[in-house]
Amino acid sequence: MRHISVDNKEPDQKGRLYVVATPIGNLGDLSHRAIATLTTVDLIACEDTRHTKNLCRHLQINTPLTSYYREKEQEKAGKLLQMLLSGKNIALVSDAGTPAVSDPGAVLVSKARAAGVEIVAVAGPSALAAALSIAGLTQTSFFFGGFLPANKSDRRKTLRTLSSLPFTLIFYESPHRISATLADMLSFLGDRPVQLFRELTKIHEECQEGTVSGLYNQIIKNGIKGELVLIIQGATPPSTEKPDNLEELLFWYRDTLHSTLKDAVQAIAEDLDLPRSMVYKKALSIWQDSV
């Protein structure tokens, strides 16, 4: 196994960027390697300096901190890159978990890699991995969507796009948006089995299981607090056979495969060897009925 030392650089050598996972709740999950890295680098770039300062104070780490949050990510990445190129070692952390997984970090990592800076992963806690490990899923394939869009229209477009995926769907969500998200999931994904993990690794860690509608009603009635990971069953493969006439095929593409009008027209015109204009005219009337 190759061990990378934070120290002992040549005078003109570029610095290293360490992407360091920090606890998502339980401080005991911080690795010895992460502590050593945070102690010995020249600078810690963090999502929120107040949050990371508390962690460093607890661990008696005195490394300087600088903020690196979403709204200033592009601007700050350039400044941090110059420091890396000048030979400084920098640790990148988020408020909790692994940076660049639905948290800031990807911009700096991408710029650093393009500039030939060595990037080192200091692996550790991740809410995604933690939830998967205790969900009891037998299907190995899944789709991780991070946080769904806050905007209702964008969120619904995303869910509509994902509605036909046969893979387990996993999202992060916040307490103040979870009810709206579940309502949209019920409309666009249907009443599927779902698991909601709350406060992973913390004192009040909890898993709520049921259906989308059941979970929605429960949260509307009782409310919910804490950081959330939502795991929802993927789409069930179509059980009906593919029709062989134009009208039924159009309904099948629209309602079973949730295809776009354009994709359905192209596929059917090729399958049935029909003029695209004729298929499009028929498809337009069927798609308009669903609006």
The per-residue pLDDT for range 201-217, each reduced to its tens digit, is 999 999 999 999 999 99
Domain span at residue 53 reads: 16-125
Q: Where is the domain boundary, 232, 264, 281?
A: 232
How much is the pLDDT for 6? 56
Residues 135 and 214 occupy one common structural domain: yes
d(CA 26, CA 22): 10
Distance CA 47, CA 132 (A): 25
pLDDT reported for residue 29: 95
Kindly state whether residue 238 falls inside one of the protein's structural domains. no
> Which CATH number does the domain housing residue 55 bear?
3.40.1010.10
Is residue 80 within 8 A of residue 125, CB to CB? The reply is no
pLDDT, tens only, 67-113: 998 888 888 999 999 999 999 999 999 999 999 988 889 999 999 99
| Closest by Cα among 226, 165, 215 to 193 | 215
Q: Are residues 119 and 139 in the same domain?
A: no
Residue 95 lies in a domain: yes
* 107 and 170 part of one domain: no
3-state SS class at 107? helix
Lookup: tokens for 154: 């964008």
Position 227 in a domain = yes
Single residue among 125, 141, 168 that ends a domain in this structure: 125
Which regions of 90-238 does DSSP assign to beta strands (E)?
90-93, 118-122, 142-147, 168-173, 193-198, 206-211, 228-232
Spatial contact of 259 and 253, defined as CB atoms under 8 Å apart: yes
CATH number, position 133: 3.30.950.10
Verify that 63 and 111 share a domain, yes or no: yes
For residue 117, the model assigns a pLDDT of: 97
Do 120 and 141 belong together in one domain? no
- The answer on 116 and 61 residing in a single domain is yes
Q: What is the predicted pLDDT for the residue at 239?
A: 57
Does residue 239 lie within any of the structural domains?
no
> Do 91 and 139 sit in the same domain of this protein?
no
- What is the reported pTM? 0.76
The total number of structural domains in the chain stands at: 3
Neighbours of 2 (CB within 10 A): 3
Say yes or no: 227 and 257 in one domain: no
Domain assignment present for residue 240? The answer is no
Decide if pLDDT at 55 tops 80. yes
Local structure of 278: helix, strand or coil: helix
| Residue 266 within a domain | yes
DSSP category for residue 86: T
Residue 80 neighbours by CB distance under 10 Å? 23
- Assess if residue 204 is contained within a domain: yes
- Where is the domain boundary, 90, 125, 160? 125
Domain shared by 20 and 114, yes or no: yes
Q: Give CA–CA dist 115/93, Å, rounded.
A: 20
CA distance 85 to 12: 9
Same domain for 227 and 140, yes or no, is yes
Query: Do residues 282 and 197 both lie within one domain?
Result: no
pLDDT at 258: 75
Angle separating helix axes 49-59 and 32-40, nearest 10 degrees: 110
- pLDDT computed for residue 251 by the predictor: 86
Structure tokens at 105: 């970090």
